[in-house]
Amino acid sequence: MSNSDYSSRRILEIEACTNCRICAEVCPAVQATGDGKLSGVYRVSQLKNILRSRTAFWSKLFRYKGPTASEWKDFSQTVFSCTLCGACQEVCPSGIHLKELWLEVRQDLKRSLYYPEKIDTIQENLDESHNVFGEDNEERVDWVEECRDPPDSGFCQDTADIVYFTGCVSSFYPLAQQIPVALAEMFQIADVNFTLLGQDEWCCGFPLLGAGLDALVEDFINHNMAMVEQKAANTVVFSCPSCYRMWQERYPYRGKFSIAHTTEFLLRLVRENRLNFKGSPMKVTYHDPCDLGRGAREFENARLLIQSVPEVELIELENNRENCRCCGGGGNLEMIDAALSAKITERKIKEILATGAQAVITSCQQCVRTITTWVRRNEVPIQVFDITRFIRRALQR
């Protein structure tokens, strides 16, 4: 247990909390459960007490010895019942970097040994297999067999202009594997010289941060950087917003190559007339993934891409762009508390259905997985697309 898990900036920031509760009003976990203990404001007030109890001056002054084991357990439960969606940070009038704070608290709880058992599974999977599912990492490129016309190389070349960093969910989860299949086919159509890293791609490391395992991230960063540099590529493309955001924030790639999310890269190909559409009449709505929208502040590329498809009508969700509500799939929540994750998804589906759209499009394999699972289980009459698949089906070939 240590205050050193917190940056001095964060410790100063939380003292600025005015208890206004605006963060609770936008929190999807609070909205889904009505439980105020899942809110940012509750957590910040608890954390202030914990940090003070570890400081000799304050603990003497207030004779407060810190939380009991059962209080630690309750605190841990609220911290890990969070999707790390960043909606609270977006609205906090005191400018507290709440999302970063939640990551620092998870690190503290991991070291303090008050954390959910599932965290050990995540750690074991990543230690042993370098992917979040604990699958054999050689199977990372099995999805290539689903492509219409894969080359003998299986899209793995010694060098290439572009590296496509596929991410764990799209590599291994069957429903999400349609995303890399669609993207690889579009790269072929647009004559993009690209390569995969194959079994040399390791998890980007974001699930380690979400699990409070910050200290283990460095190995993953160093490995992935070395593998990309070997390919002599000028750009790394990501279909996963969390991988993309992780690279933006933590990887030392600047000055070596650039990075882009698929929404930006595909829009570039469309503008260069390298992807040509047939008409595809449909009313759609768009869900901004938390890490791409609030995280990377990329809101318009996806909308411009959707609107470049003839005969498509885009209807905005009531809460869109920086106010978009989480789908329930972030922050490892699905692994830690699947029931809470599903409750958050249910609210999201209601908002989607209120638009009257025939399909919901998003730009994240985890959102697709979360929303599709709920829609299928509850037989909801709406189509769910990742933007990559949506664009692929609208192409002339």
**28 contributes a contact to ligand SF4 by CB under 6 A:** yes
- Nearest CB to ligand SF4, comparing residues 21 and 350: 21
**94 lines the binding site for ligand SF4 (CB under 6 A):** yes
Among 2, 7, 12, 20, binds ligand SF4 (CB under 6 A): 20
* Chosen residue from 88, 183, 233, 305 binding ligand SF4 by CB under 6 A: 88
- Only one of the segments 59-67, 77-85, 201-209, 357-365 lies at the binding site for ligand SF4 (rule: CB under 6 A); that segment is 77-85
Residue 18 binds ligand SF4, judged by CB under 6 A:
yes
By CB under 6 A, name the one of 32, 50, 79, 82 that touches ligand SF4: 82
Contact 42, 78 (CB under 8 A): yes
Is 210 one of the binding residues for ligand SF4 (CB under 6 A)?
A: no
Nearest Cα residue to 122 out of 368, 334, 290, 291: 334
Residues 377-396 that bind ligand SF4 (CB under 6 A): none
Single residue of 21, 256, 271, 278 touching ligand SF4 by CB under 6 A: 21
Smallest distance from ligand SF4 to CB 245, Å: 14
* Options 84-92, 105-113, 170-178, 183-191: segment touching ligand SF4 (CB under 6 A): 84-92
Q: Which of 99, 110, 130, 325 binds ligand SF4 (CB under 6 A)?
A: 99
Question: Judged by CB under 6 A, which stretch of 13-21, 117-125, 177-185, 193-201 contacts ligand SF4?
Answer: 13-21
Among 5, 6, 10, 23, binds ligand SF4 (CB under 6 A): 23
Site string for ligand SF4, 336-365 (x = CB under 6 A): ------------------------------
Report the residue number, 86 or 180, with the smaller CB distance to ligand SF4. Answer: 86
Residue 85 interacts with ligand SF4 (CB under 6 A)?
Answer: yes
Per CB under 6 A, contacts with ligand SF4 among 32-71 are 40-41, 44
Nearer to ligand SF4, 101 or 190 (CB): 101
Instruction: Please say which residue, 14 or 236, places its beta carbon nearer to ligand SF4.
Output: 14
- The three-state (H, E, C) secondary structure of the chain, written as one string: CCHHHCCHHHHHHHCCCCCCCHHHHHCHHHHHHCCHHHCHHHHHHHHHHHHHHCCHHHHHHHCCCCCCHHHHHHHHHHHHCCCCCCHHHHHCCCCCCHHHHHHHHHHHHHHCCCCCCHHHHHHHHHHHHCCCCCCCHHHHHHHHHHCCCCCCCCCCCCCCCEEEECCHHHHHCCCCCHHHHHHHHHHHHCCCCEECCHHHCCCCCHHHHHCCCHHHHHHHHHHHHHHHHHCCCCEEEECCHHHHHHHHHHCCCCCCCEEEEHHHHHHHHHHCCCCCECCCCEEEEEECCCHHHHHCCCCHHHHHHHHCCCCEEEECCCCCHHHCCCCCCCCCHHHHCHHHHHHHHHHHHHHHHCCCCCEEEECCHHHHHHHHHHHHHCCCCCEEEEHHHHHHHCECC
> Which residues contribute to the site for ligand SF4 (CB under 6 A)?
17-23, 26-29, 40-41, 44, 82-88, 92-94, 96, 98-99
